[in-house]
Amino acid sequence: MTRPAVRIALVLLLVVGVAAAAWQLQALENRRLDGVRQQDTLDAVRDQIGHAIDDSRTAQQAYLAQGQGLDFWEAKFAEAMASLTQGLAALRAQANEQPAAIEALDAADRALKVYEGVDRRIRSFVVNGTDLMAADAVYEDGLKTAGVIRTSVEQAHAALVGPARTGYDERRLQYIIAGAAAGAGILVSLLLLPTGRKDDPEVELHAPEGSLHLNERPGRLDPVAVAAPAVDLVTPAPIAAVPAVVEASRRATPVAVAASAGLSDETLDAAARVCTDLARVKDADELRDALGRAARLLDASGVIVWVTDAAGKSLKPLLTYGYPEEALRRIPTLTRETDNPTTAAWRGAVTEFVDATDTAPGAIAVPLLVPQGCVGVLAAEIRHGREAAVATRALAQIVAAQLAVLIPTESA
């Protein structure tokens, strides 16, 4: 996860995910609070009805007490009935499209009418002096009817509280969403952590006026590498000539040169990672990223990978790194007759150098060799006068060897 575009995309996805999670959490919290408020209201109405039933029962029992005024307790019973009726109406207002609650409230209304009739009979018995019959009505019919009302109210309350009691479910969903958001944040944070690979400084763009690829500058042959036999770049070399080419170049293989170049373990490790990534690229962005890391490894301000055309008569740039657009527009197609180090490396299938000057950096041009011959050139402008260093040559040849079998060419 080192490419800025991928890192930015991950951060944006995390921000969007966290925002969506926060919105969902707020919606769930609002629903939970609405359910809690509705349940509190239903509980209060149920308690109101329960107290009204208790008060009515107290009034009926007081009818039988000696010395108690019947009119006083009759008024108390009427108050209790008014509160009970009000409570049942409040429950019915909450029972929209709740069949179980409506059925229970209908049963409570029927029992309430019976209960009021029982109360009238009790008072009639008391007025007529038939206390025994009045007591029987109070403790038999009145108790039974009040119990039916209470049971019906509890059933209606349970039916209404069911949809309202979503607080626990909503809270559980909140925990799940919060946990998922936290997990996503931790995952993205881990993906954005440094991978242990050192971030080299960005390649410094070189002014196009002194570019190796825009002006003809004198070059010189690699003093170490052994030139392979001349290769016809138009017609692929016959199979019989391949062993001779391999044998002639064996003494100058990239591995052999790297072994004698005194490269540090860190540099060799970085080169190995670049070559491994080149072998695993799946798209142009990954290839360009690997080429950029190769440029930083070479301390190059710019790199161009040239490949031959179908006829093997010219070179054209396939990949570039480190050059501004105005410089790239001025890079021409190179022919065999072009006199510069890039074409010299192509024609001779040998590494060429350009020494640094006061106004332009040095450069190195390494041929891309396959069994059929040279199919291109890796050309790089090297900073700090390191173009002729053995380590630079070794690293450039390692990268070129990997590119030779990776870059698709029309002439290969």
Coil, strand, or helix at residue 304? strand
Query: Which residues is 377 bridged to in the sheet?
Result: 306, 367
DSSP assignment letter at 141: I
Phi and psi (nearest 5°) for 316? -135, 150
Coil, strand, or helix at residue 220? strand
Report the C-alpha gap between 287 and 157 in whole angstroms.
69
Tell me the residue type at 272: A
- Tell me how far the alpha carbon of residue 412 is from its chain's centroid: 41
Sheet containing strand 220-221, strands side by side: 220-221, 352-354, 362-370, 373-382, 300-308, 314-321, 334-335
Tell me the residue type at 406: L
Coil, strand, or helix at residue 319? strand
Report the C-alpha gap between 100 and 154 in whole angstroms.
11
For 347-381, give one letter per residue: b (16+ CB within 10 A) or e: bbbbbbbbebeeebbbbbbbbbbbebbbbbbbbbb
Structure tokens belonging to residue 260: 């004698």
Residue (of 396, 390, 386) closest to 362 by Cα position: 386
pLDDT tens-place values along the chain, 412 residues long: 556 777 788 788 878 888 887 887 787 777 777 777 888 888 999 999 999 999 999 998 988 887 777 888 999 999 999 999 999 999 988 887 788 889 999 999 999 999 999 999 999 998 888 889 989 999 999 999 999 999 999 999 888 887 655 555 666 776 788 788 788 778 877 777 765 544 444 434 343 444 544 445 565 665 555 444 444 444 444 433 334 333 434 344 444 444 444 567 888 888 888 888 888 888 878 888 888 888 888 888 889 998 988 888 888 888 888 888 877 778 888 888 888 888 888 888 899 888 888 788 888 999 988 888 888 999 999 888 787 788 888 888 898 898 888 766 554 3
Show contacts of 281-286: CB within 8 Å, 24+ apart.
281/406, 285/3, 285/5
List alpha helices for 220-315, DSSP H.
242-249, 254-260, 265-280, 284-298
Q: Assess contact for 332 and 306: CB atoms under 8 A.
A: no
- Using alpha carbons, list the distances in angstroms from residue 153 to 42, 77, 150, 203, 233: 11, 19, 5, 80, 99
pLDDT confidence of residue 56: 93
DSSP assignment letter at 137: I
Find the farthest-apart pair of alpha carbons in the chain and give their distance in angstroms, rounded. 139
Burial of 53 (0-12, 13-18, 19+ CB in 10 A): buried
pLDDT confidence of residue 84: 93
Angle between helix axes 4-63 and 99-128 (nearest 10 degrees) is: 20
pLDDT confidence of residue 117: 93
If you count DSSP H runs as helices and E runs as strands, how many of each does the chain have, helices first?
Answer: 13, 7
pLDDT confidence of residue 256: 47
